[in-house]
Amino acid sequence: MSELGPLSSRDLIIQATYLIASVFFILGLRSLTKPTQARLGMQQAAMGMLFAVIGTLLNAHIVTYQWIIIGLVVGAIIGYPMAMKVPMTAMPQFIAFSHAFGAIAATLVGVVEYRHAFTMDMGGNMPGMSNGVAAAIGFEVLFGALTVTGSFMAFGKLQELITGRPITFPGQNAFNITLIAVAFLSLGVLIYNPGTAWAFYTVLALGLFLGVSMVLPIGGGDMPVVISLLNSYAGLAAAATGFAIGNNVLIIAGALEGAGGFILSIIMSKAMNRSFANIIFGAFGSAPSGTKKDGGPAREPKTITAEDAATQLAYAGSVVIIPGYGMAVAQAQHTCRELHELIEKKGGKVSYAIHPVAGRMPGHLNVILSEAGIDYGALLTDVDDANRVLQTADVAVIVGANDIVNPDAEDDTSSPLYGMPIFRPWTAKVSFVIKRGKGTGFSGVENPLFTKDNTLMIYGDGKGVIGNLVKEIKALDEGH
């Protein structure tokens, strides 16, 4: 698709649809800056995609349509029920899966293009390939393959098909770095001499292998960063495809996704106060025990009954709920809305403190609470804002969250969480911690919040406990 000669009117139409698609994509992303405009904006972006697909069907290189049409139909048949049925709690797995699919497409296009360039056609010609295109194809299959297996690994960890704990072995980092070096060496050979088929397939194979070996040592708690990084890689693979086949809309869309994933990765690492390198090579939480502070005898956390907790909630002027992924696991969000409405009916104000890394992907808890019908005006997504509200709050309720309320992040320089911005529920008059049992969180780190003087534990399943609170508050009303 070299565009050096004069454009035919057919090419002109195709390019026009691509331009329209590009503009709609950018406008769609811009609409996401305001929740009120977002839906319409993204519907327009979908229209843009439709234009681009229709435009592509006019491409003069296409000789048969049957496989295209069957493929589109099959894709729609797979995609539609997937998107309509997936629960909001499973969103990270879904996104990982979707990344993998997009990356498979990008990788396969790379393989087809490469084979095409070095296969004798009927006239006995071999089109060959310039060094520039070879570089693009090399990056395309490297990033594509890495995203495919990396996303499937992330999917497996999120779906708990594989353990969420980091999987490590001695010399792992050296091993990975060697793999990366060999991959780039092969890429160099491919660019220098595009006809070197072994170099191309080595890049492809190492890409696939790297996806697995790089996600293996990353723990479940770090998944928001991994998903963001894979988002970025998927974008880069798409952009490289654009370079390889000379298609600007692919380059633009890929660059947009690459930028989005990159920004989210930075935000996530900042929210954990850790560098990329630390997350990728650190195998966080692999050695949780044995690092306990030696500060006096261990204290037992205090508990409170649902009845007493309900009384305090019913007469609270301001309640801040701090949800973590545990809330989503327990499916407690709908019961939580009931509790929220009851407290509001009694004149209290309820807000939610949502940490940037709460959940398994960026912004995950916001989606889960919105699905439960909670007004997004009640969601405090800024850590500093939430801490300001907590200072004047009567009750803080922590549901299925652990690391994001761990005071060690501020006090204990030896803690793996040290430096991470956290919520301070202990500044509220009292805080209730709803927790399944006495164990540590996903990251495997002890939490001294639980033994603070104004912290009271309510052990049990999140949904059950909140259900009891709702029942008790209702009983309180009937008693009067």
Residue 100, by phi and psi: left (phi above 0), alpha (psi -120 to 50) or beta? alpha
Nearest to other proteins of 162, 255 (CB atom): 255
Q: Closest approach of Cβ 342 to other proteins, in Å?
A: 14
By CB under 8 A, residue 87 contacts other proteins: no
Between 71 and 128, CB nearer to other proteins: 71
Cβ count near 458 (within 10 Å): 22
DSSP class of residue 449 equals: G
CB-CB contact of 233 with 147 (8 Å): yes
Q: At what angle do helices 131-158 and 197-215 cross, to 10 degrees?
A: 30
The only residue of 8, 59, 391, 454 in contact with other proteins, by rule CB under 8 A: 59
Angle at 462 between CA 458 and CA 466, to 5 degrees: 75
Residue 287 in 3-state DSSP?
A: coil
187 lines the binding site for other proteins (CB under 8 A): no
Q: Are 95 and 361 in contact (CB under 8 A)?
A: yes
Applying CB under 8 A, does 258 fall inside the site for other proteins? Answer: yes
Alpha carbon distance 424, 446 (integer Å): 16
What b-and-e string marks burial along 148-179, b requiring 16 or more CB atoms within 10 Å of the CB? bbbbbbbbbbbeeebebbbbeeeebeeebeeb
Tell me: does residue 347 bind other proteins (CB under 8 A): no
DSSP tag of 452: S
Is 354 a binding residue for other proteins by CB under 8 A? The answer is yes
Stretch that binds other proteins, among 110-118, 181-189, 319-327, 446-454 (CB under 8 A): 110-118
x-or-dash string of contact with other proteins, 402-441, rule CB under 8 A: ----------------------------------------
In angstroms, what is the minimal distance from the CB of 252 to other proteins?
Answer: 4
CB within 8 Å of 130: residues ≥ 6 apart: 194
Residue at 184: amino acid letter:
F
Site membership for other proteins, residue 192 (CB under 8 A): no
Instruction: Choose the binding region for other proteins from 98-106, 292-300, 440-448, 450-458 (rule: CB under 8 A).
Output: 98-106
* 63 is a contact residue toward other proteins (CB under 8 A): yes
Instruction: Give which of 92, 97, 98 is closest to 363, Cα–Cα.
Output: 92
Binding of residue 125 to other proteins (CB under 8 A): no
Binding window for other proteins (CB under 8 A); candidates: 215-223, 353-361, 431-439, 453-461? 353-361
**Stretch 294-323 residues interacting with other proteins (CB under 8 A):** none
Least Å distance, CB 377 to other proteins, is: 6
HSE-CB of 250 using CA atoms within 13 angstroms:
22
Q: Which stretch binds other proteins (CB under 8 A): 154-162, 210-218, 295-303, 378-386?
A: 378-386
23 is an interface residue for other proteins by CB under 8 A: no
Between helix 306-314 and helix 333-345 the angle, nearest 10°, is 50
- Verify binding: residue 141, other proteins, rule CB under 8 A: no
Tell me whether residue 2 or residue 289 sits nearer to other proteins (CB atom).
Answer: 2
Min dist. Cβ of residue 169 to other proteins (A) = 31
Q: According to the binding rule CB under 8 A, does residue 138 interact with other proteins?
A: no
Using CA atoms, how far apart are residues 241 and 234, in angstroms rounded to an integer?
Answer: 11
The stretch among 155-163, 178-186, 228-236, 427-435 that binds other proteins (CB under 8 A) is 228-236
The yes or no reply on residue 149 touching other proteins (CB under 8 A) is no
Cβ neighbours of residue 336 closer than 8 Å, sequence gap 6 or more? 321, 323, 327, 369, 372, 374, 399, 466
